[in-house]
Each structure stands twice: as structure tokens, then as C-alpha cells.
Amino acid sequence: MHKLLIVDDEEMIRKLIRKYAEFDGYEVVEACDGLDAVTKFRHNDFDLIVMDIMMPELDGFSACREIRKTSDIPIIMLSARGEEYDKINGFEIGIDDYVVKPFSPKELLLRINAILKRTATEKVEEKKNEIVTMADGGLVADITARIVYVDGVRIDMSPKEYELFFYLLRNKNIALSRDKLLQDVWGYDFFGDDRTLDTHIKILRKSLGRYSDFVVTIRGMGYRFEEKKLQ
């Protein structure tokens, strides 16, 4: 049985998520703020965290940063705000998904199910030794170890950024639609706008530095990863 940590200062929201999660067979622990969440995380083994951003004592972003110091546990962030700045901030510190309030509990559970299913698949795939080298060694991706080097410098990426980058690499020179990327990388039929994907592409390009142009935009469709000769 998977164990979830639900973090929100609104008891009604915690109880609502708990009701649907337990119906789906999950074990649920609640936390009322970020400080409570970090404390309970340190003393329990959770499989996924659902965390609100605006909370007393310690906000969701700060709690996520603290958790990311020692764990890559999947985190879904909840927020009443849907601005791109908040999403970029969340994705850069390592959250896996961002859900804007008000939300459908059923949709949230679909996202939880998909993330946990994908995480289990990744653990199997990581057993394969897979290293990709491009640009005469300037760009190296050790997929097995989840390490990326840009011109010899190790680049830190969020878990979702790694997943998106490695998926693009495995499908090099193939045109990938937005729906395909959302389905295969996020693991569910995406509900809402696809700016989440665009935001991650923007972050990924920033991480790749002078190799950012390797991620090609296909107008009206999606993206393609292709190795190019640098000027």
C-alpha cells in the first residue's frame, strides 16, 4: 500500500483529498503546515507528497527545498495561484506536478496514480547502463545515474527536468507532439493548458546552456531533440 503525506493548512481540503485517496487504497497522513510536513517526513516513509504553497510556519516552497536536500520523493504542489512564476519556481526546486485550486479530487488522484506508476517503471529502467554523449563530448547524459554534464560541468536538474530531457534523448530526431510528451512524461491525459510543458522546456533549455538549441520547437505541434553543429 502506498503512503501519502497530504499537507495543507485548510482541514477541509486535507479531509477531501484523504477521502478520495483512502477510497483508492492509499494510506494517508496529514500535516497542517510546512514545518509539520518536514517533521513527519523525517520520521516516516512516504511514497508521494501533496503540498499546498501558502501555509503558516513554513510555506510549501521552503518545505520542498528542505525535503529535496535528502530525497527525490515525488511532490505535487497545490496553489490558489496559477502564475507562470510560481510554476517555474516550483519546478526549479524539484516538484513533479503543479495543481491549481480549485481542483477536481478525481483528477488529483489520477495524477498521483500516474506519478507512482511512472516512478516504479523508472526504477526498473534505471538498472540499464545508459550513457549518451553528444557535441564531441560537450554534452553528456548518464541516464543510469541521472547525471548531466555540460562542457564538463555537472548540471543539477529537477526530477521532472531529468525525465523530460532523457525522454527527448531516447526519442532523438523524432517530432513529438505536446500530447505525446504530456502523456509519456507526465503519465496521464493532461487536464488543463499545456503551459506546464512549455515551462519545463524553458527550464531545460536554460540548463543546457549553449546546447539549448538542441531542443527544437515545432510550431503548432511540439518539440524535437536534435544534435546541431555549434557556430
* Exposure string for 65-99, b = 16+ CB within 10 A, e = fewer: ebbbeeeebbbbbbbeeeeeebbbbbbbbbbbbbb
Q: Identify residue 45 by its one-letter amino acid code.
A: D
Q: Are both 3-124 and 127-225 of the same fold? A: no
Q: What is the pLDDT of residue 185?
A: 84
Q: What is the pLDDT of residue 117?
A: 83
Average pLDDT of the residues in 135-142: 91
Q: What is the pLDDT of residue 131?
A: 83
Copy the grid coordinates of residue 75: 511532490
Q: What is the pLDDT of residue 192?
A: 47
CATH code for the structural domain at 3-124: 3.40.50.2300
Sheet strands side by side (includes 176-177): 176-177, 222-225, 215-218
Q: What is the pLDDT of residue 96?
A: 87
pLDDT band at 9 (very low <50, low <70, confident <90, very high): very high
Q: What is the pLDDT of residue 11?
A: 95
Residue ranges in the chain assigned as alpha helix (H): 11-23, 34-42, 60-68, 84-92, 105-125, 159-170, 178-181, 195-208
CA atoms of 82 and 62, how far apart (whole Å)? 18
Q: Is the pLDDT of residue 16 over 90?
A: yes
Q: Angle at the Cα of 2 (from 110 to 33), degrees rounded to 5?
A: 80
Q: What is the mean pLDDT of the chain?
A: 88
Average pLDDT of the residues in 135-154: 90
CA atoms of 181 and 189, how far apart (whole Å)? 10
- Predicted TM-score (pTM) of the model is 0.69
What is the tens place of the pLDDT at every residue in 190-222? 554 567 888 899 999 999 999 999 999 999 899
CATH architecture group of domain 127-225:
Orthogonal Bundle (1.10)
Half-sphere exposure of 167 (CA within 13 A, CB side): 25
Average pLDDT of the residues in 108-136: 77
Q: Where are the domains of the chain?
A: 3-124, 127-225
Query: Which residue carries 555549434 as its cell?
Result: 230
pLDDT above 90 covers a percentage of the chain that reads 55
> Which of 133-142, 209-218, 221-230 is modeled with the greatest confidence?
209-218
Q: Is the pLDDT of residue 52 over 60?
A: yes
Q: Is the pLDDT of residue 124 over 60?
A: no
Q: Is the pLDDT of residue 17 over 80?
A: yes
